[in-house]
Amino acid sequence: MGKVEERSVDPASQKMLKRANEEDIMVAWDRLEAMQPQCGFGRLGICCRNCAMGPCRIDPFAEEEQTGVCGASADTIVARNFIRMIAGGAAAHSDHGRDITHALMLASQGKADAYTMKDEVKLKALAREYEIKVDGRKKDEIAEELAEKIFAEFGRQHGEIKMPLRAPEKRVKVWKELGIMPRGIDREIVETMHRTHIGVDNDYKNILMHGFRTALSDGWGGSMVATDLSDVLFHTPHPILARSNLGTLSLDEVNVVVHGHEPTLSDVVVDAVRDPEIIKLAKEKGAKGINLTGMCCTAAEILMRHGIPVAGNFLQQELAILTGAVDLMMVDVQCIMPALSSVASAFHTKLVTTSPKNKAPGVTHIEFKEEEAYQIAKKILKMAIENFPNRNGHGIQIPEENQDLVAGFSAENIHNFLGGTYRATYRPLNDAIIKGRVRGLAGVVGCNNPKIKHNFGHIEMSKELIKNDVLVVVTGCTAIADAEAGLLQPEAAFEYAGKGLQEICETVGIPPILHVGSCVDNSRILVALSNVVKEGGLGEDISDLPAAGAAPEWMSEKAVSIASYFAGSGLFTVLGVPFPILGSKNVTNFLCNDMENILGGKFAFEADPIKAAHLMIDHINKKRKALKFKPMMYE
């Protein structure tokens, strides 16, 4: 068993890792150790099992260039495998978007009374974008037509999807000229599967370019749909104060942790915990009430809109159960470790799956249906309450770490803050960049990965960026890591930010790191950057901006898709763990160098978060120079 300090920088997590060691309970870090040595062919991306003539693997040290049985080169195999990862990630995000569209459709037809379309302003703005008549119509009618039009974007067979047109004109022109404007959200994923089938595309550049189109159909399609329609249903976030880390679990209340990604059930659970019947039942069972907390991106959804505390990020899901205090963990889809059921079985914790897309052997399944959302939420809460008296068997250890944070920023409200009440534009932000108070912008996003010390990459990179006056926006597990380190509070600016950024944060009262939501909400970053370009003075394209992206601890296919739509939108993007592409020099060279001349963005791999931050800062400086900006104000 490894030393806990080498596994996580978070003191709360270290305590639970210690407990796991003492009680001989395997967690992700142990399984990674047990998995060593991991397959070198897989890591380099040069193993192909797309047909039954294989599996084929290319010897990277062979004297003569090898191919698979069909003749596929390392370049072809690596490119195919890489874009299949993009497709996996894009599929997950986009299917999430489809589910939200389905909920909106049912709500508009009066078939799902738990949903009320709380943000009419956004509903109407979206409707206008989709050329839907708004004036004089009821919101249900508008919403039904909008849901129908968005559904059509998934299966579109003619033309192109609409949301990428939110990008600056020059960016759209780049995509059109390259022939990678996304056509249908599902179509690009299907085409990835087709092109990578035995005997189809074997021009690695052609394969990769379609990979970018697939990623763009996620960032500017499926994910953007998920964000926008969630805003319509549950309201666009406003800045909100909340708490984070395992210390948000309660000793004397029923602890319910919601984990996964989609807000359709978890948002209703937020209402149901306030139901008098539920509160009464909890008290009857000896609890003081119900304590609802979130995990991973479901946490971000209900944090952003309701201030529900966040119990932890991806690598803390098992650790939450190790507190012995979780009475029920309700999971929907994505990033839910199959290992949860075995960890839960060592405690009294009840694990409940809710999506027909995600069941687990031996785990209670209560299927979610939008039409009965509230009743289902109550049923699950009752199950948690019934389980509260069973806690006694195993000692409860709740770490005290419990950090304040501010979340709830969006493309819609960032300009209100930076522009002030009377001047809701991006102008003051652009001016701050032009004048050298703010060096530039960075989106730091993505997962945890036990190959990198838990939260270390996120926290150190974020701190280094703000120290150098880079305004950072975060989502997903990065946001949770930064929250746990106290970086999402306005006071963090005084402790960690450079002088210029500090002045901005002080004037406006915002943290130096802005939490913009879950992983599908990376689409908010694309919209915000487009708005910054449109405001003027920072070039004509996202690729002109002094801006960069990063995923310092990424692990999922979704992160590959996100990184690819960042780079495909013109951003320099740094990954803490290399993509599994190093088995092809050509593919690596294309993605880490040549693509910059075509798409404006490119990738770099750097595990050291400080060095990675400086790659981003160097890039930002390069863009500032190209824009002929004056030196930074305080340098």
Residue with smaller CB distance to ligand BF8, 559 or 617: 559
Residue with smaller CB distance to ligand BF8, 260 or 600: 260
Residue with smaller CB distance to ligand BF8, 143 or 477: 477
> Considering the complex, what minimum distance in angstroms separates the CB of residue 296 from ligand BF8?
3
Residue with smaller CB distance to ligand BF8, 500 or 549: 549
Query: Per CB under 6 A, which region of 59-67, 155-163, 180-188, 555-563 contacts ligand BF8?
Result: 555-563
- Give the closest residue to 464 by CA, choosing from 556, 571, 550, 562: 550
Q: How far apart are CA 628 and CA 635, in angstroms?
A: 16
Residue with smaller CB distance to ligand BF8, 147 or 575: 575
Interface of this chain with ligand BF8, residues 560 to 619, rule: CB under 6 A: none
- 297 binding ligand BF8? (CB under 6 A): yes
Among 68, 446, 500, 583, which residue interacts with ligand BF8 (rule: CB under 6 A)? 446
Question: Residue type at 220?
Answer: W
Among 513, 519, 567, 632, which residue interacts with ligand BF8 (rule: CB under 6 A)? 519
Residue with smaller CB distance to ligand BF8, 339 or 598: 339
- Find out whether 78 and 583 touch, Cβ atoms under 8 Å: yes
Interface of this chain with ligand BF8, residues 324 to 383, rule: CB under 6 A: 335
Number of chain residues interacting with ligand BF8 (CB under 6 A): 14
Residue with smaller CB distance to ligand BF8, 265 or 296: 296
Among 171, 437, 558, 602, which residue interacts with ligand BF8 (rule: CB under 6 A)? 558
> Considering the complex, what minimum distance in angstroms separates the CB of residue 332 from ligand BF8?
11
Residue with smaller CB distance to ligand BF8, 302 or 381: 302
Q: How far apart are CA 34 and CA 629, in angstroms?
A: 52
Peptide bond into 428 cis (omega under 30): no
Q: How far apart are CA 454 and CA 478, in angstroms?
A: 10
Extract the tokens encoding 495: 């402790």
Query: Per CB under 6 A, which region of 115-123, 214-222, 453-461, 556-564 contacts ligand BF8?
Result: 556-564
Q: Count of alpha carbons within 13 Å of 146, Cβ hemisphere only?
A: 32
DSSP lists the bridge partners of residue 290 as 254
Question: Residue type at 54?
Answer: G
Among 314, 409, 456, 572, which residue interacts with ligand BF8 (rule: CB under 6 A)? 314
> Considering the complex, what minimum distance in angstroms separates the CB of residue 303 from ligand BF8?
13
Residue with smaller CB distance to ligand BF8, 105 or 559: 559
> Considering the complex, what minimum distance in angstroms separates the CB of residue 305 from ligand BF8?
16
Query: Per CB under 6 A, which region of 197-205, 494-502, 535-543, 551-559 contacts ligand BF8?
Result: 551-559
DSSP, res 443? E
Q: How far apart are CA 146 and CA 105, in angstroms?
A: 8
Give the three-class secondary structure for 199: coil
For 60, 111, 126, the CA distances from 107, given in Å and listed in that order, are: 55, 6, 17
Q: How far apart are CA 266 and CA 370, in angstroms?
A: 11
DSSP lists the bridge partners of residue 329 as 257, 351
> Considering the complex, what minimum distance in angstroms separates the CB of residue 520 from ligand BF8?
7
Give the three-class secondary structure for 353: strand
User: Which residues fall within 8 angstroms of residue 528, CB to CB, at 6 or more apart?
Assistant: 411, 414, 473, 516
Query: Per CB under 6 A, which region of 151-159, 168-176, 553-561, 592-600 contacts ligand BF8?
Result: 553-561
Interface of this chain with ligand BF8, residues 466 to 495, rule: CB under 6 A: 476-477
- 556 binding ligand BF8? (CB under 6 A): yes
Among 150, 233, 447, 616, which residue interacts with ligand BF8 (rule: CB under 6 A)? 447
Residue with smaller CB distance to ligand BF8, 96 or 213: 96
Extract the tokens encoding 99: 């589910």
Extract the tokens encoding 460: 């150190």
Question: Residue type at 453?
Answer: K
Query: Per CB under 6 A, which region of 77-85, 372-380, 426-434, 552-560 contacts ligand BF8?
Result: 552-560
Q: How are strands ordered across the β-sheet holding 403-407?
A: 364-365, 350-353, 328-331, 254-260, 290-295, 310-312, 240-244, 403-407
> Considering the complex, what minimum distance in angstroms separates the CB of residue 259 from ligand BF8?
9
> What's the 3-state SS for 296-331?
HHHHHHHHHHHCCCEEECHHHHHHHHHCCCCCEEEE
> Considering the complex, what minimum distance in angstroms separates the CB of residue 364 from ligand BF8?
22
- Find out whether 419 and 528 touch, Cβ atoms under 8 Å: no
Residue with smaller CB distance to ligand BF8, 399 or 446: 446
Q: How far apart are CA 77 and CA 300, in angstroms?
A: 36
Residue with smaller CB distance to ligand BF8, 298 or 621: 298
Residue with tokens 């191919």: 67
Interface of this chain with ligand BF8, residues 248 to 287, rule: CB under 6 A: 261
DSSP lists the bridge partners of residue 254 as 290
Residue with smaller CB distance to ligand BF8, 242 or 501: 242
Q: Which helix (H) or strand (E) holds 548?
A: strand 547-551
The residues of the shown chain that bind ligand BF8, judged by CB under 6 A, are 261, 296-297, 313-314, 335, 446-447, 476-477, 519, 556, 558-559
